Chains A and B, each alone.
Chain A
Amino acid sequence: MKTEDKDETNEDWVACIARIRDHQDRAAFAVLFQHFAPRVKAFLMRSGTDAALAEECAQDVMATLWQKAHLFDPARASAATWIFTIARNRKIDALRKQQRPEPEDLPWGPEAEPDQADALALQQETAQLGAAIAALPDKQRVLIEKAYFGDLSHSEIADETGLPLGTIKSRIRLALDRLRHAMK
C-alpha cells in the first residue's frame, strides 16, 4: 500500500472505502485519512472555523465515512465528492447551526451491486473535471473556490473582493461555461 498520496486516483480511494465496508480495514482507513482529513480541515478553516473546531469536525467527517461506507455508491459519485458532501453537511451543522433539507432519494432498481461501467465512466469524468478546474483562468477559479469554501454569497464576495456583483456573476458563469465545454 502506498503512503505517498500524490499518485493515488479515485479508483484507489474507492477500493479503500470498499475494504472499510467489507473488512473494517484500519490500514485502508489510514490511507484515506492521510489524504482527506487535512483537506477537510483546510476546507473548514477557510469557511471560518477555528483550528480546534476544524480538527474536531474533520475527525467527525472521517468517522462518518467509516460508519456510512456501506452507503457509498462509486457509480454515483467520486470518493472526493462524497467526502465533500459529508464535510459540507458537517459545516452547516457546526457553523451555521441550521438544518439542511435534503432531496428524496431516487427509487433504485433491484440491482444491489454498483454498475462497473458507470463507476469507470465516473472515474474518467472525475479526472477530466479536476483537470478542467485546474485549467481555469485564475480570476475565475478563485471566485468558484470562494463560493464553495469561503461560505460566502455572491454579494459577500463582492464586499470582500471589492469587485462589482455583476463582474462576479459573469466570471462564475464563464467558469461554468468552460467546465461544461471541457466535459463534453
Chain B
Amino acid sequence: MTDTIHHHLTDPLLMAYSAGTLPEAFSMVVAAHVSMCDECRARLGSFDAIGGSLIDGAETVAMADDSLGATLARIEAGATAEPPAPRKRRRGVLPGPVQDYVGGNLDAVKWRPVGMGVKQAILPTSRDASARLLYIPAGAAVPDHGHNGTELTLVLQGAFEDESDRFGVGDVEVADDSMEHTPVADIGQDCICLAATDAPLRFRGLLPRLAQPFLRI
C-alpha cells in the first residue's frame, strides 16, 4: 500500500505529534496515516530521535532524596502490572487507532446522514479539535467549503478529487484556512475518509450554513 501513497504528513505535524502537542483528533489522523505509511513511520522515528537527543542533552532538576528508593518500592508494588497489549495490525478498512475509537471496524460505525447521500460519524475526542468519519457515495460531492483552521483528511477507502489534486487510500490532505475546495468522490467506489479539524467548517451556500449547528461539522 505504501508505494501508492502520494500525499504525506508535513514535518510540523509529525514533529508536534512526536512532541505530544497535537490535539487528540489530529493525533488520531497522524497515528492512522503512520499505520498505513512506512515512509512517514520512518520520519516519525527521526522526530522521536530528536526528542531523545534533546532530553539526553538537557538540563537536569534534582530528584527528591528518597526518590530512587520510592521508585523501587513502586516497582515492587506494581510488579504484576499487565503487559500492554501489542498494537497489532488489524484487518479491515479502518486502521487500528481509528478502530479503538469506533469500538470495531466499519460495521460498528454509527453513521448519521448529512444530506445528498453523505454520512458522517463523529468520534469522541478532546474538544480542542474534532474528528469524524465521512462516507461519500461514489461520484458525490461534499458541499463547497473553506476552513477557519487546519483540516486533515485521510482517505481510508475509494478516492476523492478536489481543485488541488487526487487523493487515494492512505493519502492525507492538509488544508489550511486559505483553502476553499469541493471534494468529489471517485466514480466506482464509495469513499470513506477520516477528517479532523480544529475549527468549524464554513460552507459557502446559505442552506449548509444554517444546517451547520445540527451537523456539528
A joins B in a complex: yes
Which A residues have a C-beta under 8 Å from some C-beta of B? 26, 29-30, 33-34, 36-43, 45, 51, 54-55, 58-60, 62-63, 66-68, 70-71, 76-78, 80-85, 87-89, 91-92, 96-107, 125-126, 129-130, 133-134, 144-145, 147-149, 151-154, 169, 172-173, 176, 179
Contact of A104 (CB < 8 Å), options: B30, B63, B97, B101: B97
CB of B57 within 8 A of CB of A134, answer yes
Known: A104-B96, A105-B89. A169 touches B12 (CB 8 A): yes
Min CB distance B188 to A, Å, is 27
B112 lies within 8 A of chain A by Cβ: no
Q: SS class of chain B's interface: helix, strand, loop or mixed? A: helix
Min CB distance A3 to B, Å, is 13
Known: A85-B51, A144-B50, A153-B16. A67 touches B56 (CB 8 A): no
CB of A129 within 8 A of CB of B50, answer yes
Within B37-64, which residues are at the interface with A (CB < 8 Å)? Answer: 41, 44-45, 48-64
Within B61-75, which residues are at the interface with A (CB < 8 Å)? Answer: 61-64, 67-68, 70-72, 74-75
Which B residues have a C-beta under 8 Å from some C-beta of A? 11-12, 15-16, 18-21, 23-24, 27-28, 30-32, 34-35, 41, 44-45, 48-64, 67-68, 70-72, 74-75, 78-79, 81, 83-84, 86-90, 95-97, 100-101, 125-126
Known: A92-B20, A152-B21. A39 touches B58 (CB 8 A): yes
Min CB distance B18 to A, Å, is 8
CB of B60 within 8 A of CB of A38, answer yes
Q: SS class of chain A's interface: helix, strand, loop or mixed? A: helix
CA distance in complex: A42, B55 (Å): 9
Known: A103-B87, A151-B20. A133 touches B53 (CB 8 A): yes
CB of B12 within 8 A of CB of A154, answer yes
Residues of B within 8 A of A147 (CB): 15-16, 19, 21
CB of B61 within 8 A of CB of A54, answer yes
Q: Which 8 A-B pairs have the closest CB atoms?
A: A81-B52, A38-B60, A80-B52, A80-B56, A101-B31, A101-B97, A103-B34, A104-B96
CA distance in complex: A78, B57 (Å): 13
Contact of A103 (CB < 8 Å), options: B41, B75, B126: B41
CA distance in complex: A54, B64 (Å): 11
Residues of B within 8 A of A30 (CB): 68
Residues of B within 8 A of A133 (CB): 50, 53-54, 57
CB of B59 within 8 A of CB of A42, answer yes
CB of B50 within 8 A of CB of A67, answer no
CA distance in complex: A76, B44 (Å): 12
CA distance in complex: A16, B11 (Å): 33
CB of B52 within 8 A of CB of A89, answer no
CB of B49 within 8 A of CB of A102, answer no
CA distance in complex: A36, B86 (Å): 26
